[in-house]
Chain A
Amino acid sequence: MAGRPRNTNGRVNNGGAQLAEAHAMRSRAEHVTGAASSIARIAGEVFAGSEEQRRSLDEVLSGVNEMTASLGETAKQAESVSGSTEQVVSSMNELAASVEQIAGNTTSLATSVAETASSAEETTASIRNVTSLTQDMTTAAQQVTVSIAQLASSTKSIGRDTDSLATSVTETAAGIEEMSRSITGVADNASELASASEETSSAINEMAASIEEVGAMTESLSSAVEQNALAIEQMSRSIQSVAASGRKITDVATGAASNATQMDRSMQSVAALAKQGDEVTRRVAREAEDGGQSVQKSIQGMGRLRESMAESATVMREMGKRTNEISGIVDTINLIAERTNLLSLNASIEAARAGDAGRGFAVVAEEIRNLADRSAKATADIAAIIRALQEVAHEAVASANDGLRIADESNALAESGAAGLKKMMGGLAEVTTVVGHIARAADEQRTAAQAVVVAVNGTAEQARLVATSTAEQATTANSIVQSTGQMRKVAQEVMKAVAEQGRAARDIIKASQSTTRLAAQVRRASSEQASSAAQVTQATNAIRAGAATTARALAEQVTASEQIARSAGALNRTVTSVSQAMNEQATATAQVAASVNSMRRESEQAARALKEQSKAVHETSVAAQNTSKQMRLITHANREHSVVAARVLDQLRDIRAITERNARGVSETQGNTEDLLKMAEALVASLPGESTNGRSAAHGRTATNGRVGADGRAATNGRAGTNGTSGKNGSSGKNGR
């Protein structure tokens, strides 16, 4: 009991430096607290930024959804266009040539999609980086958890030990061994504190590093968002050019429709003309046939005429012969008449010579003479008639001969005419057949042309619909571009906040380094104390009751340690869940990588298709028949557009999920920071108490070391030889100082 005032004196000497160190440590701890709270604040800002980013991602998602829906609609319309163009294709085979034209058009789009794919790949790589970093961070967090648990347990055990020590010191005011033992425990605890502080520092370093990595990751995310935005802008431009192409196609299709209508009209007139020609030809053929029949009839009539002419010529010749016979008979009659006249004259002469006797005879002779004169006159008339008849018969025979000759000639002419007519009829039959073919072909052509008109009209209509939906697509793409711009801004803000977080983390690191230094100093002092305490231990060996108390205190300490272990296990579980979350992130990243790969493949396909589309748009001025194939290829491209948009949608959803996980990690970081803050506060709270305890204890210890040790030596020299060794140690410790 007499040693106490000396102890107090010793406290003043040795405790002055320790007090200053404790003060400095407390201020550092407070600084750590402030820095941790600023980290919490910044983490809150980061969280808010992540929320905003998620909202903008939602907007982008909704925009991309709209675009996908519109693309689907476009695809549907384009499919119906394709259906209508199939008809056109069946009519117009030439359309096949324009496939390559549209292929060239889509090349530029393919390039842009390829750029999108490369940027998506970069995004995937960065997300992988983020995943690995997150895993590292998880490990670090686990380590932090462990170390913090250790820190907590040690701190608590220190507190409890110190409490129990204080209790035992107050209980056994004279039990210096116990106190010494307690000091040894304090020294151990101090060294544990130092190591825990170092571990804390390293853990904070790791946390800072992980925060920096998060910052770098955020930067790469920002650049990925930037590239995504650029790619989306390019896609928007390409969609606008597609819209322009769609308008041009609409114009071309409309022109083709009018051309097809004109073609249909001309084909109808051609068909009508062909039909008229067919009818005329048939009529001509009928008339030619009638003419052939009449020519045949006339040939037959000519033959009959010839026969009858020959007969009449024969009859005429016969009649001439008979007329000659009649003429001879008439001559004979004439002779007879002349002779009768002569005889009557002679009779008259005789009668006149006979005088009155011959008067009657004279009368008879005169009558006879009159009769003979009349018969002579009649025969003269007959002779004249016969002569005329003979002339007529001669002429008739000549005419009959002429008629016969002419009939022969006519017959020959008619037969050659009939042969020519036969030939002409054969030609006419061929002409009729050909004209019939032409008429049929013209009819079919007209039907086909009408089908073409219908199909081309449908194509024009569908092309207009496609142009309209493409314009809507362009509008949607513009809104997406705007949302992407907002996303870019948000990402930049997040990057800024993370940078601030990094700065704060660096401050924390600096503060924790100072803490570590101070802890090292404390450890040194504590080890000195320990060495002193060892001496004290020898001196306090005798104080068994204090040891028992200390044993009880240790038991209590064990209980406390178990509790601490439990809390550490809980912490570990939390960390495990974080790690799981990170693993999920990693899996999601792998999925992202896969979808990015497929997106690149789809992008390449889309690139090719869009290249083709681009070429098609450049050569839209080519014939309207090409439109159908262009439409088909546009359908194809639109489908791929849809697929690509779906992929972009998936990727964006993944990005959103990552952002949400980031937010979750940030919130967990916040929780951890709060824990750290709490612990730092506990440290701060414990430090002054411990330093008070330590101060008294240390002072006590130091005093004991300094003086009571000497007393103990003197007192215990008689009791135990072991104490003498500790007394030597204490003096060597003194010498060391």
Chain B
Amino acid sequence: MTDGQQAADRFILFTVAGTTYAVHSHDVHHMEMIEEVTRVPNAPPFVDGVVFSRGHVIPVVNLRARFGFERVPHTLRTRLVVVQAAAGRIVGLIADEAREFVVLPAHAIQPPHDTLAGLSGRYLQGIASVGDRMILVLNLERVLDFGAIAAAGEPPVADAASA
């Protein structure tokens, strides 16, 4: 977390369903263009399947599905953002596009409002505003909660238990 504090000022921006989200750059392993997703049986609804990337088989989470939006076909701009989740687990996130690398000052990021409590509030680390743009800074741990992911394969009770 301290590492996260130190490098907290560099972020990758990506958009899903028109909204710009930000993840910390040291959480991002690398990014690539999505090519072929191999669907896996009994995967959670927000997991499209698995891809082979840099010698590793990694699961692919569809953020539209994860955030409760409708799915859209992949385009040239569709990106697979490969992140290093807790305990060294690597997960691929499918965003509509991801093209910016920005530095956000710490004071620009505010904690989510109380009114945004609930599920949305749990996924957000804070909200930053740059110029007239509103950027939602994701709490990647919560988004990529393994328990929840496991619950996707296993019973969701485990996810509730870990929460």
Residues of A within 8 A of B (CB): 334-335, 338-339, 341-342, 344-346, 348-349, 352-353, 365-366, 369, 373
Contacts and interface: CB of A to CB of B under 8 A. Distances in A.
A362 to B, nearest CB: 8
A370 to B, nearest CB: 11
A106 B98 CA distance: 140
Given A342-B32, A342-B33, A346-B31, A352 B79 contact: no
Contacts of A342: 31-33, 79
A348 B25 contact: yes
A346 B76 contact: no
Nearest to B75: A338
Interface in B11-44: 12, 25-26, 28, 30-33
B142 interface: no
19 contacts: A335-B76, A338-B76, A341-B99, A342-B32, A342-B79, A344-B101, A345-B31, A345-B101, A346-B31, A348-B25, A348-B101, A349-B12, A349-B25, A349-B28, A349-B30, A352-B7, A352-B10, A352-B25, A353-B25
B10 A345 contact: no
A378 to B, nearest CB: 15
A346 B98 CA distance: 11
Contacts of A365: 101
A349 B11 CA distance: 9
B89 interface: no
A353 B79 CA distance: 21
A369 B101 CA distance: 9
Nearest to A334: B76
Contact of B30 (A339, A346, A352): A346
Interface in B27-67: 28, 30-33
Interface in B57-106: 76-77, 79, 98-101
A353 B98 contact: no
Main secondary structure of the interface of A (DSSP, over half): helix
A436 B7 CA distance: 111
A345 B26 contact: no
A313 to B, nearest CB: 34
A338 B79 CA distance: 10
A338 B99 CA distance: 8
B79 A349 contact: no
B98 A345 contact: yes
Given A345-B99, A352-B7, 6 more contacts: A338-B33, A345-B12, A346-B30, A349-B28, A352-B10, A365-B101
Interface residues of B, number: 17
Contacts of A346: 30-31
A734 B7 CA distance: 247
Contacts of A334: 76
B101 A338 contact: no
A373 B101 CA distance: 12
A334 B99 CA distance: 14
A342 B80 CA distance: 10
A327 to B, nearest CB: 14
A98 B63 CA distance: 130
A353 B10 CA distance: 10
Interface string B98-119: 1111000000000000000000
A366 B101 contact: yes
B80 to A, nearest CB: 10
Nearest to A343: B31
B54 to A, nearest CB: 11
A352 B100 CA distance: 14
Interface-centre pick from B76, B79, B101 (highest chain A CB count, 10 A): B101
Contacts of B32: 342
B31 A353 contact: no
Contact of B77 (A338, A344, A349): A338
Contacts of B33: 338-339, 342
A348 B31 CA distance: 11
A345 B82 CA distance: 12
Nearest to A335: B76
A348 B77 CA distance: 18
Nearest to A344: B101
A349 B76 contact: no
Closest 7 pairs between A and B when the two form their complex, measured CB to CB: A348-B101, A352-B25, A352-B10, A346-B30, A341-B99, A338-B76, A349-B28
B101 A349 contact: yes
A353 B26 CA distance: 7
A366 B102 CA distance: 10
Contacts of A348: 25, 101
Contacts of B76: 334-335, 338
Contacts of B10: 352
Contacts of B79: 342
B87 to A, nearest CB: 19
Contact of B99 (A335, A349, A352, A373): A373
Nearest to B80: A342
Contact of A352 (B26, B31, B77, B98): B26
A339 B28 CA distance: 17
Interface-centre pick from A346, A348, A352, A353 (highest chain B CB count, 10 A): A352
Contacts of A341: 99
B76 to A, nearest CB: 5
Contacts of B30: 346, 349
Contacts of B25: 348-349, 352-353
Nearest to B24: A352
B144 to A, nearest CB: 17
Nearest to A355: B7
Nearest to B7: A352
